[in-house]
């Protein structure tokens, strides 16, 4: 899963569509044609299919000052925001029963939107926690305070997380993952290019400015910022790179508490876990042992003043968006402008909706799907999933690099993938979560504590709930979960602005939905990482050695291909880190295409606005990546994201698809042309 762009949208299956100012040409039947309207015919498809497919739309949709990108996801999110805002405003006006979901939605919204109250409170909501940090006296106190801050959502040194055991998916296990950095990942602390060095300097100023807002004089604030930077840099040295985190075996080290104590001499983990509420422990899975060796050393050797500075910073950093305007704007200045290039902040009401979504997502989701996702829409996409699964089964049967015995197991895994479409069958219960109008900060704190208890305490030692969703229906995203062997496709992922479902031809649907999301997520079960999990969701090698060797040879080709793409001044896509997503993009395209070939539209072969059905299929796929980014955001994505930038999620896989060459007459000498012998062929 990735909270940025795991797999972008499917189609407009919402009951209604909000029509924005986007223009669209119409076909002979008078229905709008978004695909034709977006074309930039001054670009040859064989040179840059992304720009050919989306160029006119991108020219007509500059990036808003408050955003780091402009794209179809932003347009869909506008509609989602409008609906959630209406729900929230009505809830705030209602005299709802105390403890009801409506009361909680309404109170969260009312106090969140009250900027005057937030400015009056300043940093006061954090004072009790800041006072506790200031009162620390011993290393044991530091550990106890970390245990207090983690349930509050603070990224305080260690990263405990309860999830399914990768090698025993029927059991929930406690994982320890590398954590504790204020910059996006370890590379920001060490890369020597000018852009990253400037970000480091800006980060140091940002941390110091935050301390000044807490009332410290300039000299003290600068000294504390230096302490934070030094401690985080030490943590970063022991943190693994993005690509290294994708190896499930290399990041799985199961050990007893005694073994964990031995890994970090001098630390009493049993006591620490007890303070974290994790009493029912007989073992733990450590992702990166070298990181925790550093944690152990730091807790014994780092001066108390460093910990006080670090924990005060991490706490304030987490809650800055909930505090007064000065904290909020300082936080935005660095994380919004320096890191991602936005020049003005998004409206407060949108930011409050984002916080409310994290706090009460399922409560909002129940109302959202009731109003905007009708049964007939769900039925359509349930059917589409079945059609794409059937196509994938045919591909598995016909590939020439996989042996017959492995194909049998692969087909078994495919048919055991659980599709979850639209919304969950049961909703989370927020009865124990108190939401009131005291302060936005207090509500967010209690919501973090509720989530921590729900996910990190109550699930440990309990049976795995395979019906649960890790996204809400109004989330514009999708995911494949290897431990559950499932694909999850939220309702909001089916939305495309300005287009009603009835007006979308099958070519668009199969390219946009069948390829970019359904086929993409299914293929994740068989990419370089997902393929290491079996049909039951266990980390287990079910391929023959020769099959794995042949597969890895093909993966190496796609890694080299994407390593060769250069963006901005001299930045490269990380082919190894993005391999899984690139495999899934390519797989989704070829699988979705064969599913589309069974439709009436394909068989009849009639053109719409001069475009053949197959051309419209490929354009439908490109529509899913109709977006462009600020340079700052793109640079950040290249360092932190396992997904390739949007342009290369289109041009990259298309260069490997023979049907694309045929559909658009791609010839040698054009930029996307790759000789057939050098193209990636997996599914």
The reply to whether 314 and 381 lie within a common domain is: no
Q: What is the pLDDT of residue 370?
A: 82
Q: Please indicate, yes or no, if residue 332 is contained in any of the structural domains.
A: no
Q: Please indicate, yes or no, if residue 144 is contained in any of the structural domains.
A: yes
pLDDT tier for residue 29 given thresholds of 50, 70 and 90: low
The reply to whether 44 and 191 lie within a common domain is: no
Share of the chain above pLDDT 70, in %: 96
Q: What is the pLDDT of residue 372?
A: 76
Domain count, the chain: 2
Q: Kindly state the average pLDDT of the residues 434-463.
A: 96
Residue 180 corresponds to which tokens in the numbers above? 């504790």
Q: Kindly state the average pLDDT of the residues 479-498.
A: 90
**Rounded Cα distance, 504 and 32, in Å:** 8
The reply to whether 606 and 513 lie within a common domain is: yes
For residue 400, count other CB atoms closer than 10 A to its CB: 6
DSSP collapsed to 3 states, 306-353: HHHHHHHHHHHHHHHHHCCHHHHHHHHHHHHHHCCCCCCCCCHHHHHH
Q: Please indicate, yes or no, if residue 517 is contained in any of the structural domains.
A: yes
Angle at 635 between CA 629 and CA 639, to 5 degrees: 125
**Strand order of the sheet with strand 418-422?**
418-422, 486-490, 479-481
Q: Please indicate, yes or no, if residue 327 is contained in any of the structural domains.
A: no
> Which domain-ending residue is among 322, 349, 380?
322
Half-sphere exposure at residue 280, Cβ-oriented, CA atoms within 13 angstroms: 11
CB 643 within 8 A of CB 535: no
pLDDT tier for residue 32 given thresholds of 50, 70 and 90: confident
Among the ranges given (16-30, 250-264, 277-291, 317-331), the one the predictor scored with the smallest mean pLDDT: 16-30
Task: Give residue-wise pLDDT tens across range 176-215.
Answer: 999 999 999 999 999 999 999 999 999 999 999 999 999 9
Question: Residue 211 maps to which CATH number?
Answer: 1.10.1380.10
Among the ranges given (22-26, 141-145, 284-288), the one the predictor scored with the smallest mean pLDDT: 22-26
Q: Please indicate, yes or no, if residue 298 is contained in any of the structural domains.
A: yes
Task: Give residue-wise pLDDT tens across range 256-266.
Answer: 999 999 999 98
Q: Please indicate, yes or no, if residue 487 is contained in any of the structural domains.
A: yes
pLDDT tier for residue 376 given thresholds of 50, 70 and 90: confident
Centroid of chain to Cα 618: 25
**Cα dihedral sign, 640-643-644-647:** negative
DSSP collapsed to 3 states, 482-502: CCCCEEEEEHHHHCCCCCCHH
The DSSP bridge partners found for residue 174 are 162
DSSP string, 110-147: HHHS-HHHHHHHTTGGGHHHHHHHHT--SHHHHHHHHH
Task: Give residue-wise pLDDT tens across range 389-414.
Answer: 999 999 999 999 999 999 999 999 99
Q: Please indicate, yes or no, if residue 79 is contained in any of the structural domains.
A: no
For residue 226, what is the enclosing H or E element? helix 218-237
In the three-class reduction of DSSP (H, G, I as helix; E, B as strand; rest coil), residue 660 is classed as helix
The reply to whether 283 and 402 lie within a common domain is: no
pLDDT tier for residue 378 given thresholds of 50, 70 and 90: confident
pLDDT at 27 over 60: no
pLDDT at 17 over 90: no
pLDDT tier for residue 25 given thresholds of 50, 70 and 90: low
Task: Give residue-wise pLDDT tens across range 287-334.
Answer: 999 999 999 999 999 999 999 999 999 999 999 999 999 999 999 999
pTM, to two decimals: 0.92
**Strand order of the sheet with strand 253-256?**
159-165, 168-177, 283-286, 253-256
Q: Please indicate, yes or no, if residue 529 is contained in any of the structural domains.
A: yes
The reply to whether 233 and 296 lie within a common domain is: yes
The reply to whether 229 and 308 lie within a common domain is: yes
The reply to whether 136 and 257 lie within a common domain is: yes
Buried b (16+ CB within 10 A) or exposed e, 201-224: eebebbbbbbbbbbebeeeebbeb
DSSP collapsed to 3 states, 514-568: HHHHHHHHHHHCCCCCHHHECCCCCECCCCCHHHHHHHHHHHHHHHHHHHCCEEC
DSSP string, 567-622: ETTTEE--TTTTHHHHHHHHHHHHHHHHHHTTSHHHHH---BTTB-HHHHHHHHHH
pLDDT tier for residue 7 given thresholds of 50, 70 and 90: very low
Nearest Cα to 102, choosing from 112, 94, 110?
Answer: 94
CB 529 within 8 A of CB 248: yes
Burial label, 241 (beta-carbon count in 10 A; 0-12, 13-18, 19+)? middle
In the three-class reduction of DSSP (H, G, I as helix; E, B as strand; rest coil), residue 419 is classed as strand
For residue 37, count other CB atoms closer than 10 A to its CB: 17
> Which domain-ending residue is among 288, 322, 356?
322
For residue 415, what is the enclosing H or E element? helix 404-415
Q: What is the pLDDT of residue 30?
A: 65
Task: Give residue-wise pLDDT tens across range 418-437.
Answer: 999 999 999 999 999 999 99
Task: Give residue-wise pLDDT tens across range 154-183.
Answer: 999 999 999 999 999 999 999 999 999 999
Non-local CB neighbours of 118 within 8 Å, separated by 6+ positions: 322, 323, 324, 325, 328, 439, 440
The reply to whether 388 and 511 lie within a common domain is: yes
The reply to whether 178 and 252 lie within a common domain is: yes
Share of the chain above pLDDT 90, in %: 88
In the three-class reduction of DSSP (H, G, I as helix; E, B as strand; rest coil), residue 460 is classed as coil
**Rounded Cα distance, 54 and 114, in Å:** 40
CA dihedral of 80, 86, 92, 97, whole degrees rounded to 10: -80
DSSP designation for 462 = S
**Rounded Cα distance, 375 and 18, in Å:** 19
What are the φ and ψ backbone dihedral angles of 418, each rounded to 5 degrees? -90, 120
pLDDT at 4 over 60: no
CA dihedral of 50, 55, 60, 63, whole degrees rounded to 10: 40
**Rounded Cα distance, 176 and 659, in Å:** 45
The reply to whether 496 and 644 lie within a common domain is: yes
Q: What is the pLDDT of residue 325?
A: 98
Q: What is the pLDDT of residue 570?
A: 84
Question: Residue 38 maps to which CATH number?
Answer: 3.40.390.10
**Rounded Cα distance, 87 and 109, in Å:** 10
Task: Give residue-wise pLDDT tens across range 528-580.
Answer: 999 999 999 999 999 999 999 999 999 999 999 999 999 988 899 999 999 99
Angle at 242 between CA 239 and CA 243, to 5 degrees: 120
pLDDT at 10 over 70: no
Q: Which domain holds residue 243?
A: 124-322
The reply to whether 157 and 67 lie within a common domain is: no
CB 619 within 8 A of CB 554: no
The reply to whether 176 and 282 lie within a common domain is: yes
Non-local CB neighbours of 308 within 8 Å, separated by 6+ positions: 133, 134, 136
Q: What is the pLDDT of residue 373?
A: 79
pLDDT at 60 over 50: yes
> Which domain-ending residue is among 322, 346, 363?
322
């Amino acid at each position: 899963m990735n909270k940025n762009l795991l797999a972008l949208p499917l189609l407009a299956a919402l009951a209604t569509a909000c029509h924005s100012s986007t223009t669209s040409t119409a076909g002979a039947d008078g229905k709008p044609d978004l695909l034709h309207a977006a074309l930039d015919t001054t670009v040859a498809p064989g040179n840059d299919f992304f720009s050919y497919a989306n160029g006119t739309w991108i020219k007509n949709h500059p990036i808003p000052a408050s955003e780091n990108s402009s794209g179809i996801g932003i347009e869909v999110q506008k509609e989602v925001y409008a609906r959630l805002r209406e729900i929230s405003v009505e809830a705030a006006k209602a005299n709802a029963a105390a403890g009801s979901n409506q009361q909680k939605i309404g109170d969260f919204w009312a106090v969140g939107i009250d900027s005057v109250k937030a400015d009056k409170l300043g940093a006061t909501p954090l004072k009790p926690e800041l006072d506790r940090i200031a009162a620390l006296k011993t290393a044991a106190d530091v550990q106890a305070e970390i245990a207090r801050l983690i349930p509050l959502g603070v990224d305080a040194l260690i990263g405990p997380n309860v999830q399914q055991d990768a090698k025993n998916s029927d059991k929930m296990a406690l994982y320890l993952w590398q954590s504790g950095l204020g910059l996006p990942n370890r590379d920001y602390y060490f890369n020597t290019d000018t852009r990253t060095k400037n970000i480091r300097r800006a980060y140091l100023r940002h941390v110091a400015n935050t301390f000044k807002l807490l009332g410290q004089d300039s000299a003290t604030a600068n000294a504390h910022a230096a302490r934070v930077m030094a401690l985080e840099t030490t943590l970063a040295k022991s943190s693994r790179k993005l690509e290294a985190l994708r190896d499930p075996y290399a990041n799985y080290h199961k050990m007893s508490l005694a073994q964990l104590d031995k890994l970090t001499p001098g630390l009493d983990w049993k006591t620490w876990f007890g303070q974290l509420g994790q009493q029912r422990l007989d073992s733990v899975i450590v992702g990166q042992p070298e990181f925790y060796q550093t944690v152990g050393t730091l807790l014994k050797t780092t001066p108390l003043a460093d910990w006080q500075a670090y924990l005060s910073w991490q706490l304030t950093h987490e809650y800055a968006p909930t505090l007064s305007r000065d904290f909020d704007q300082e936080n935005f200045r660095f994380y919004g402008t320096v890191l991602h290039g936005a020049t003005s902040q998004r409206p407060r009401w949108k930011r409050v909706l984002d916080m409310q979504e994290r706090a009460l997502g399922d409560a909002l989701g129940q109302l959202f799907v009731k109003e905007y996702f009708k049964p007939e829409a769900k039925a359509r996409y349930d059917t589409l999933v079945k059609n794409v699964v059937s196509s994938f089964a045919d591909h598995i049967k016909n590939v020439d690099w996989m042996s017959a015995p492995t194909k049998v197991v692969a087909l078994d895994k495919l048919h055991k993938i659980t599709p979850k479409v639209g919304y969950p069958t049961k909703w989370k219960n927020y009865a124990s979560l108190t939401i009131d109008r005291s302060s936005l900060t207090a509500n967010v704190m209690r919501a973090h504590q509720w989530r921590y208890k729900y996910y990190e305490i109550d699930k440990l030692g309990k049976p795995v709930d395979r019906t649960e969703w890790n996204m809400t229906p109004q989330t514009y995203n999708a995911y494949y979960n290897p431990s559950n062997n499932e694909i999850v496709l939220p309702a909001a992922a089916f939305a495309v602005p300005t287009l009603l479902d009835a007006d979308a031809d099958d070519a668009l649907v199969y390219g946009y939905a069948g390829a970019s999301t359904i086929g993409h997520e299914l293929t994740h079960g068989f990419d370089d990482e997902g393929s290491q999990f079996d049909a039951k969701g266990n980390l287990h090698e079910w391929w023959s050695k020769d099959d794995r060797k042949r597969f890895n040879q093909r993966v190496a080709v796609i890694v080299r291909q994407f390593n060769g793409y250069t963006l901005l001044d001299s930045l490269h896509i990380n082919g190894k880190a993005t391999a899984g997503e690139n495999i899934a993009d390519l797989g989704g395209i070829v699988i979705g295409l064969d599913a589309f070939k069974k439709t009436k539209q394909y068989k009849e072969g009639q053109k719409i606005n001069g475009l053949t059905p197959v051309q419209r299929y490929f354009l439908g796929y490109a529509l899913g990546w109709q977006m462009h980014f600020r340079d700052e955001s793109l640079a950040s994505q290249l360092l932190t994201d396992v997904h390739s930038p949007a342009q290369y999620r289109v041009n990259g896989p298309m260069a490997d698809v023979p049907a694309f060459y045929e559909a658009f007459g791609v010839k040698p000498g054009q930029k996307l042309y790759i000789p057939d012998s050098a193209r990636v062929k997996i599914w």
